[in-house]
Structure 1
Amino acid sequence: MPKRDAEPRRGRPIPPLISTDPQNAYDHLREQAAACAIPSVEGTPMWVAGRYEGVRSMLSDPRFANNPATVPNGAAALLPGEPLRKLGLDDDLVPYLSDTILDSDGRDHARLRRLVTPAFSVQRIMTLRPRIERLADDLLDALPNHATGGVADLLDHFAHPLPIQVIGDLVGVPAADLPSWLRWTHDLSFDRQSLTGTLRPLVDYTHDLVRRRRAEPGDDVISELLRVQDDDGDRLDDRELVTMVLSLVIAGHDTTAAFIANSVWALLTHPDQLAALRADPGLMPRAVQELLRWCGPVLVARTRYAMRDVDLGWASFRSGDAVAAALSGANHDPREFADPKELDIARKYQNRGEVHVSFGAGPHYCLGAALARLEVEAALGRLLERYPGLALAVPERDLRWHAASGMRKLAELPVRL
């Protein structure tokens, strides 16, 4: 297999394609080499791994760290929080976005994950199905009120509000405050030039919410983390606790909303698959797994950093090298999937486990994977039942997508009810 230091793989004109057509860009990179060198968004060099075998092995390898500061001897080119400071974020706010469970490694990561994992166990998540279905029904009942001439934006009035209500309820954010959360998370995603103005009120609000939950605990994640904080064993300080809440709500909302919209788009543009799902609703769990493989919104995982010189067989990396796993490239790798460009909701595998890598792999496998799957199953099931004539209100080529190298998500989803 090709090694990472093959010079012909350096300097190819890939970055413009990544910003305008990310899915095809990562497919292109995958077929160039097991690992290709390109400039990162920050301008520092990085490697992109896009083949299925490489992505799974690298994400599961403890010799790669999420936090560049973990790399010995300062070998990583990028320091934690540096990109945020360059965007003008105040120093005191930087840790809330750069020192999270996603940025931790080793024992620290295991400690943080152990504290919050019980709230996202499959057993607990499954008890939420009736609540999620009721929320979906309420939003779908109100959808005609947001329509003009029978056309409504499913993104604004269904895909976005459903997951923010679900994760808000689970974490302990009062329903009356969720519209503010929705606005804050939207601004954090799309208005990176005013990060301080968005993040400060969000951080202040969450500190206040923690104080309220400390005075009046409930059956929610914040209250549970506060109980842990008061125990003699592992504990979170207030900054860690607020950061955890922010991470859970932001991560639990944006990607799930994007995936609901992506899934509806995929089904409406593949009428044979939509018809098969309508004819056999029992296919829904398998359909969601295939949709995750085919149109999962997270195209590339958080950058990892080689802790030392590493030879993985398919590629080798030097200490400090930044390596990004192109999840979409792996999910469309013809070496792993037959006809990977085809959407097949009845696709079968010899392996009974989860085959796609849309939730990552290894220690940082998505904490909210079970919740996301359940939300999308419930959302699609109720939507297709409630609106049997649902159709795109514009030609597919006229749909607008956000230009982002690491995400594939719609800017709007106009549908005819």
Structure 2
Amino acid sequence: MDPADGLIDHPYDVYRRLRDTAPVHRITGPDGTPAWLVTRYEDVRAALADPRLSLDKRNASAGTYKGLSLPPALDANLLNMDPPDHTRIRRLVGRAFTPRRVQQLREPIRRTADRLLDALGPHGTTDLIASYAAPLPITVICDLLGIPEEDRLDFRQWTDTLTAPDPARPDASKEAMAAMLGFLTRLLATKRRAPADDLLSDLIDVRDEDGGRLSEDELMSLAFLILFAGYENTVQLIGNAVLALLQHPDQLAALRKDLAQLPAAVEEFARYDGPAPLGIRRFPVEDVTVAGVTIPAGETVLVCPAAANRDPARFPDPDRLDLSRDASGHLALGHGIHYCLGAPLARAETEIALAALLERFPELALGDGELRWRPSLRARGLMALPVRY
């Protein structure tokens, strides 16, 4: 897939053409190696839950797309695992990452949102990504994990570099990865010496029924995944939701009248323009047939939730933002055993962020300047969101 084909600025036009021409396409991955792209809702949903489609890169054939390359200490995460290892680690994490903990975070999230909006003043202009949509989730996820405030800007910069690498700086991604690995190594050592009331300390201490614990690489990889995904996906979800509202004044007016709609509205925002266009690459452990197309074992399968969520066979009039729509069943946060572990937190942050913003600024509107999307096929989000308030 070539970004020049419109996948950055106008992806849904491309997805529509792909869905209309064939359910499964042979494509070229971001690194120039081949993959199969699945675009229709029924097929994407089935593929996400198909145990024959492995996330373990050891099941990949040579010369196929394998996704982001990580050092071994960061690669032992849930996005590269199948059962039973996936089941074991997810169960261990689930004991620390509980709905009760997310519920306890709602008030601190609202305080953070209010503090960020206070800093903007009663009126003016701002880049809402830089001033609000990005600092809110980085604050929440770093508070949750127990990361010192002075380290948070560095982490944000490393994540941005990894998500949308700069072609002019080919070594930047490697440098960001090395810096992040060093940071997490030091952080874990600190938490072992001085445990605190935070998720990272809990993960260091958590044990299964047999007394088993996370290995060093598993712990490091899990910390990386929670930080990376917990920040990146929520930034895009908040930013894309605000943009969708400002581009659809009728829906914005309806939501302002009844903020109780927000939980359902967040599901529609995720369906309409979600943060992760492509699911994690998968590798068939045997030949599989998807919509009549046989994909050989070991070749790469890319499922496209963004295309599936605009499939008219599942969501009528899918290109229309409709906050009264029943958007349940969307695939923006996954499906099956790999469903996003942090989904409840991302939903809570987005709901609270939008409520605080709409309550504070009744005249919020798009500002001047061209909207530019991040040059990434992994993340769907704006470089900046200029607004007036």
TM-score when scaled to structure 2? Answer: 0.93
Check the 8 A contact 2:48/2:334 in 1, yes or no. yes
Let me know the Cα RMSD of the aligned residues.
2.3
**Whole-angstrom distance in 2 between the partners of 1:121 and 1:176:** 27
Q: Which runs of 5+ in 1 are unaligned?
A: 1-11, 85-92
Kindly tell me the number of residue pairs found equivalent between the two proteins.
385
Letter in 1 for 2:352: A
- Is the alpha carbon distance of 1:137 and 1:37 closer, same or farther for their aligned partners in structure 2, counting shifts above 3 Å? same
Shift, 1:213, TM fit = 1.0
- Is the alpha carbon distance of 1:252 and 1:13 closer, same or farther for their aligned partners in structure 2, counting shifts above 3 Å? closer
Shift, 1:243, TM fit = 1.6
- Is the alpha carbon distance of 1:25 and 1:98 closer, same or farther for their aligned partners in structure 2, counting shifts above 3 Å? farther
TM-score when scaled to structure 1? Answer: 0.87
- Is the alpha carbon distance of 1:319 and 1:226 closer, same or farther for their aligned partners in structure 2, counting shifts above 3 Å? same
Corresponding position of 1:35: 24
Q: Out of 232-241 and 57-66, give the one that drifted further.
A: 232-241
Corresponding position of 1:393: 367
Q: Which runs of 5+ in 2 are unaligned?
A: none
Q: Out of 247-256 and 201-210, give the one that drifted further.
A: 201-210
1:155 to 129, 134, 158: 129
1:36 partner SS: strand
Corresponding position of 1:4: none
Letter in 1 for 2:50: D
**Whole-angstrom distance in 1 between the partners of 2:197 and 2:241:** 32
Corresponding position of 2:176: 198
Q: Are residue 290 (structure 1) and residue 268 (structure 2) matched?
A: yes
CA displacement 1:206-262 (0-9 Å, x = unmatched): 111111111111121111111126995222222221221111101100111111111
2:283 partner SS: strand
Corresponding position of 1:235: 213
1:247 partner SS: helix
- Is the alpha carbon distance of 1:357 and 1:257 closer, same or farther for their aligned partners in structure 2, counting shifts above 3 Å? same
Q: Are residue 335 (structure 1) and residue 324 (structure 2) matched?
A: no
Letter in 2 for 1:107: P
2:231 partner SS: helix
Letter in 2 for 1:297: P
Corresponding position of 1:263: 241
- Is the alpha carbon distance of 1:14 and 1:174 closer, same or farther for their aligned partners in structure 2, counting shifts above 3 Å? closer
Corresponding position of 1:9: none
Q: Out of 210-219 and 177-186, give the one that drifted further.
A: 177-186
Q: Out of 202-211 and 265-274, give the one that drifted further.
A: 202-211
Letter in 1 for 2:378: G
**Whole-angstrom distance in 2 between the partners of 1:270 and 1:17:** 23
**Whole-angstrom distance in 2 between the partners of 1:360 and 1:414:** 30
Shift, 1:180, TM fit = 2.1
Shift, 1:178, TM fit = 1.6
Shift, 1:313, TM fit = 5.0
Alignment of structure 1 residues 265-284 onto 2, 5 Å: 265-284=243-262
Shift, 1:268, TM fit = 0.6
Shift, 1:408, TM fit = 1.9
Letter in 2 for 1:54: D
Alignment of structure 1 residues 374-413 onto 2, 5 Å: 374-394=348-368, 398-413=370-385
Corresponding position of 1:222: 200
Check the 8 A contact 1:19/1:403 in 2, yes or no. yes
Corresponding position of 1:246: 224
Shift, 1:335, TM fit = 0.5
CA displacement 1:142-179 (0-9 Å, x = unmatched): 0239x8xx211100010000001111111121223222
Corresponding position of 1:7: none
CA displacement 1:13-55 (0-9 Å, x = unmatched): 9973335532321222111111111111122221111100000
Q: Are residue 116 (structure 1) and residue 93 (structure 2) matched?
A: yes
**Whole-angstrom distance in 2 between the partners of 1:18 and 1:306:** 26
Shift, 1:187, TM fit = 2.3
Check the 8 A contact 1:65/1:105 in 2, yes or no. yes
